[in-house]
Amino acid sequence: MPESSVKSVLITGASGGFGLEFAKQMEPAGYRLILHGRDKARLQMTLNALKHPDRHRLVQSDLNARHGLSELISSVENEPLAGLVNNAGFGIWGSFEQTGIVPQIDVIKTDLKAPIALAHALLPTLLRHNGFIINVSSLAGEYPLPYMSTYAAAKAGLTYWSEALRIELAGRMRIVTLAPGPSPTGFRNISGMPHSTGSFFRTPIPVIIHAGLLRLEKGGGYCIPGWRHKLLFAMQKTVPRRIGLGLIAGNMRH
């Protein structure tokens, strides 16, 4: 592919976990990947894991810092963007009462505000390049989650916004709302959630990302990857809430 026809894809949170896997699975399509994160060393490891590191680019910015979002937006100003993968995110495990308000608001900034702001700023370019958006939400957005209440609220917001946008832009842009359950990324260590919680539903990272990209190929939509996550979703939708909430609280409390 001649260099001038190469289109770019911005992947937020590309320094590990799902972001790294998105990079690996999207590179063969010929995109120039703009790999975003905060940790330079780990971003460099993502770049080193790719087949054509020279084609791609790293961008560092903290989505919770005062100018982090605007710096990221201006850094891709001149890119022929055909894709935005809103993947960066984190959660905090613990009681609402005993968790500081600053990190909880930061969850909302990174997991909900940033994807919406990025999509809005980059929409004209994405539309011009017949592009797409993948919003990495969570099954946490399908059910209240005691001891991770703010995270679930942010992901519920992300899912609702992403699905509404998908319908608004139908026929003009493909949008995927990816809603995984537990998976072995760095997420648990950062959130502080005990490793045993929800372990039966844990699904390999490549399976999740492959399912999301397949959904994109098929024109976009809501995607619950793998049979374990589909089972979890079915339970969320069928177990009466008065029972389900108690079960989840017991499991999450530890």
Ligand X SMILES: NC(=O)c1ccc[n+]([C@@H]2O[C@H](COP(=O)([O-])OP(=O)(O)OC[C@H]3O[C@@H](n4cnc5c(N)ncnc54)[C@H](OP(=O)(O)O)[C@@H]3O)[C@@H](O)[C@H]2O)c1
User: Contact, 191 vs 103, CB < 8 A?
Assistant: no
Q: What do you get for the CA distance between the two ends of the chain, in Å?
A: 53
Site for ligand X in 77-96 (CB under 6 A): 87-90
Q: How far is the CB of 115 from ligand X (least distance, A)?
A: 9
Closest CA to 57 of 77, 73, 36: 36
Backbone angles phi, psi at 175, to 5 degrees: -130, 130
Q: Quick one: 99 or 183, whose CB is closer to ligand X?
A: 183
Determine, following the binding rule CB under 6 A, whether residue 204 of this chain makes contact with ligand X: no
Q: How far is CA 199 from the centre of its chain?
A: 20
Q: What is the per-residue binding string for ligand X in 145-184, x denoting contact by CB under 6 A?
A: -----------------------------------x-xx-
Q: How far is the CB of 10 from ligand X (least distance, A)?
A: 12
173 vs 83, 125, 132, 197, 232, CA distance in Å? 10, 11, 6, 37, 29
How many residues bind ligand X, per CB under 6 A?
A: 29
Determine, following the binding rule CB under 6 A, whether residue 59 of this chain makes contact with ligand X: no
List residues binding ligand X (CB under 6 A).
13-19, 37-39, 42, 62-64, 87-90, 110-111, 136, 138, 180, 182-183, 185-187, 190
